Structure 1
Amino acid sequence: MATKIDYYAVLEVSREASSDELKKAYRKQAMKYHPDRNPGDAAAEARFKEINQAYDVLKDEQKRAAYDRFGHAAFEGGGAGPGGFDFGGGFAGGGGLGDIFEQMFGDMMGGGRRGGGGARRAGADIQAQAEITLAEAFAGVKKSITINTRVMCESCEGTGSKDGESGVSVCPSCHGAGKVRAQQGFFVVERACPTCHGAGKVVKDPCPACRGVGTIQKSRTLEVAIPAGVEDGMRIRLTGEGESGGKGADPGDLYVHVAIQASDLFQRDGSNIYCRVPLRMSQAALGTEIEVPVIDGGRASVKIPAGTQSGEHFRLRGKGFSVLRSSARGDMYIQVTVETPQHLNKRQRELLEEFEKEAGENIKGSPEHAGFFSRVKDFFEGKS
């Protein structure tokens, strides 16, 4: 079954957001996940589609009103409508959104109340984000996140009825099945019952707290266990922590997207860690021993041999990143960069000039330098 996404969570807005707030949030999210900005990123492309789906519904007042009351059930039925949603037989009869509007606004015109409570459809899945450091991703961490979601109404215990279970009766149109069938030419089409909208039951007097829906909006704080070795962009699924579907219905799931902050010291590549270490020219030439940090919080000593060149790597086995669902670790690589000294004083300059004079007579000391300019000389003389 396809995952149901909470359109408000996708756009990162509250359910009370104004049209301007929705538009602003949509533009921000669309710009962030646009395929042109994330070439080859399948996750960003999928997110971009979700953002457009959400805004397509929420920017329209009638669609938004239907979604607020019935969730994704408002768009289930026959053929697909704009934006990839299902609108049954269209707005003008034939079920789908047209019947939902009739139910919603018919009450105001003296049509009486029908259905709406005790829906047995599963609650919608919702999404959230947890931001962690690289060190937390290495060791694993528990994070508290706060989500705005729909929970079961305590006043009516999710029935949607002011009188509880006694105020809920079997739907007279579908006789509790939640579905009806209609003949269309040679075909028999099955769709959600337009009276109870798939609930199989109707409510006589809706609960004033939840207005017959069976669920209410509430903020919840959850603790999410993020495992060691998790990668940036991974999703963690918390079964049953999504929106409530009301009494008798399974709740949806919560999907937590993990975002790992960039580190000032380390760059991660899968299970390997890279650390860029600048050395003074004298250290690289004479050799030295340096102490480097390790992602687990420890330290490691690395011997730098004399004559080390900029760009060389030194490997520390087993000092890299943790591997997801494993006790293994990758390797750590020290990448050396040799710095050219700046702001020399008089004595330093004299020493370097003396060194350069000596180095010019010793081609073995800089073989690449000597070899390169020898080839340049041959080129200008037409020998190569």
Structure 2
Amino acid sequence: MSAKRDYYEVLGVDKNADKDAIKKAYRKLAIQYHPDRNPGDKVAEEKFKEATEAYEVLSDDQKRPIYDQYGFAGLEGMGGGDAGGGYSHAFHDFSDLFGGSSGFSDIFENLFGGGFGFGGSSGGRSRSNNDGASLRYDLHIDFKEAVYGCKKDITFRRDEQCPDCHGTGGAAGSSVKTCPSCGGRGQVGRSSGFFVVQQTCPTCHGKGTVIDKPCASCRGTGVFAKSTTMSVKIPAGVENGRRLSIHGMGNAGTHGGSAGDLIIVVNVRSDRYFERDGHDLYCAVPISISQAILGATIEIKNLDEKTLSIKVPAGTQHGKFLRIRDEGVPFEGSSRKGDLYVKIMVQIPSKLSRQQIAAMEAFAALEKPTSSPDLLTRESLG
């Protein structure tokens, strides 16, 4: 059984995407995988369900911030339907997204078991109600660690399988019975205006069954919360906002369900001296007027503390970039690197000694005065 994917990854949008970008991404996927266009294609059907589930959460002003902070675990118990109307606004918005579709309600009902939500036994995607939720962990690392990679020990809490009942939730000698509230369907109906909306059964939580003698250790849940510490390898060249998924390290499943994933969101701190653009590094280096005029060889330390010797050509202008190849950010999984760009900052002294003033006056006497802007080139203006 495949692991549940992050909603932003499903829609192919950035975490900071606005509602219009989210709607546009969903519309593209829904058109591509719509059952009318892919009759009998189970893969397309699942992708359509997955995209709709992601859109239903990320376009909701209440659910999205909860998901951003707590991940899938934070959505548990909220139900998949819209909090105000009792049914998914992904369905409600469908006519707006596609300009109307007379047959969509029937298709939607067939796909989602008669309900418009994503919290029931047949909702959202082909994940069992026994599967564990995926978890989110925000990892903060230094700029240098992001560029060259690192290992980090992280500690987080996750649900692990109860050792006494082995995840079944039942005590020794217990039996599984059909849920009396939903009759084994996992869903119960609720009237909402002209609609009868199917929602997850509150008694069995969508399983359709209940245990007559719950396990005393886990109180029938099949899991218990435990603090977990693990070492995580951050690849070289990782960018801010990158999401790394560790399969099976989310909450444990019950009754044979698979564990969720641990999704690590990388947050990169800024550096005092260096910036990056893709795989290229940028820094600024001050030089004197004489070095700019006569040229010089200067030494700087790169981000990795490596000393680099840089030749500054005579007549170098303030703000000019000098390029040092293969001293930038490594490409992930490759020996290639980007380049380092050094911006030259010509320093004008605020105070001069008498000797320096005399030298500058002598130099000025030899200069040809220029006062017309027509003599300035685009390069000097830049």
TM-score by length of 1: 0.63
Q: 2:133 aligns with which of 101, 124, 138?
A: 124
**Matched residue, 1:372:** 373
> Is contact 2:158-2:250 (8 Å) kept?
yes
- The 1:50–1:145 alpha-carbon spacing in structure 2 relative to 1, beyond 3 Å, is farther
**Matched residue, 2:162:** 153
**Matched residue, 2:206:** 198
What amino acid is aligned across from residue 121 of structure 1 in structure 2? Answer: N
What is the rounded CA distance, in whole Å, between the counterparts of 2:208 and 2:58 in structure 1?
36
What is the rounded CA distance, in whole Å, between the counterparts of 1:195 and 1:257 in structure 2?
34
What is the rounded CA distance, in whole Å, between the counterparts of 2:347 and 2:66 in structure 1?
54
Q: Secondary structure at the match of 1:335?
A: strand
RMSD across aligned C-alpha pairs, in angstroms?
4.3
- The 1:249–1:346 alpha-carbon spacing in structure 2 relative to 1, beyond 3 Å, is same
What amino acid is aligned across from residue 150 of structure 2 in structure 1? Answer: V
What amino acid is aligned across from residue 80 of structure 1 in structure 2? Answer: D
- Verify: 1:80 aligned to 2:74, yes or no: no
**Matched residue, 1:278:** 286
Count of aligned residue pairs for this structure pair = 291
What is the rounded CA distance, in whole Å, between the counterparts of 2:223 and 2:335 in structure 1?
43
> Is contact 1:179-1:190 (8 Å) kept?
no
Residue ranges of structure 1 left out of the alignment (5+ in a row) = 6-31, 36-41, 58-66, 88-94, 101-118, 364-368, 376-384
What amino acid is aligned across from residue 157 of structure 1 in structure 2? Answer: H
Displacement of 1:336 in angstroms is 0.5
Q: Secondary structure at the match of 2:218?
A: coil
> Is contact 1:295-1:321 (8 Å) kept?
no
Q: 1:323 aligns with which of 331, 338, 354?
A: 331
Instruction: Give the 5 Å matches for 1:348-359.
Output: 348-359=356-367
Instruction: Give the 5 Å matches for 1:191-270.
Output: 192=200, 195-270=203-278
Q: Secondary structure at the match of 2:76?
A: helix
What is the rounded CA distance, in whole Å, between the counterparts of 1:275 and 1:316 in structure 2?
11
Q: 2:63 aligns with which of 53, 56, 63?
A: 53
**Matched residue, 1:337:** 345
- The 1:85–1:301 alpha-carbon spacing in structure 2 relative to 1, beyond 3 Å, is farther
- The 1:129–1:310 alpha-carbon spacing in structure 2 relative to 1, beyond 3 Å, is same
What is the rounded CA distance, in whole Å, between the counterparts of 1:281 and 1:84 in structure 2?
71
Q: Secondary structure at the match of 1:138?
A: helix
> Is contact 2:148-2:329 (8 Å) kept?
no
> Is contact 2:179-2:204 (8 Å) kept?
no
Displacement of 1:96 in angstroms is 11
What amino acid is aligned across from residue 79 of structure 2 in structure 1? Answer: F
What amino acid is aligned across from residue 318 of structure 1 in structure 2? Answer: D
What is the rounded CA distance, in whole Å, between the counterparts of 2:85 and 2:225 in structure 1?
26
Deviates more, 1:262-271 or 1:338-347: 338-347
What is the rounded CA distance, in whole Å, between the counterparts of 2:295 and 2:363 in structure 1?
17
What amino acid is aligned across from residue 233 of structure 1 in structure 2? Answer: G
Residues 315-338 of structure 1 deviation map (CA, whole Å, 9 limit, x = unaligned): 111121111232211111111010
Displacement of 1:73 in angstroms is 5.5
What is the rounded CA distance, in whole Å, between the counterparts of 1:373 and 1:325 in structure 2?
51
**Identity of aligned pairs, percent?**
34
What amino acid is aligned across from residue 158 of structure 1 in structure 2? Answer: G
What is the rounded CA distance, in whole Å, between the counterparts of 2:331 and 2:130 in structure 1?
39
TM-score by length of 2: 0.63
> Is contact 2:279-2:339 (8 Å) kept?
yes
Instruction: Give the 5 Å matches for 1:13-28.
Output: none
What amino acid is aligned across from residue 53 of structure 1 in structure 2? Answer: K
More helix by share: 1
Greater CA radius of gyration, 1 or 2? 1
> Is contact 2:177-2:212 (8 Å) kept?
no
Q: Secondary structure at the match of 1:223?
A: strand
> Is contact 2:182-2:201 (8 Å) kept?
no
What is the rounded CA distance, in whole Å, between the counterparts of 2:215 and 2:282 in structure 1?
60
Displacement of 1:370 in angstroms is 4.7
What is the rounded CA distance, in whole Å, between the counterparts of 2:197 and 2:269 in structure 1?
51
- The 1:260–1:172 alpha-carbon spacing in structure 2 relative to 1, beyond 3 Å, is closer
- The 1:274–1:50 alpha-carbon spacing in structure 2 relative to 1, beyond 3 Å, is farther
> Is contact 1:4-1:124 (8 Å) kept?
no
Q: 1:309 aligns with which of 305, 311, 317?
A: 317
Displacement of 1:181 in angstroms is 8.6
Displacement of 1:49 in angstroms is 6.4
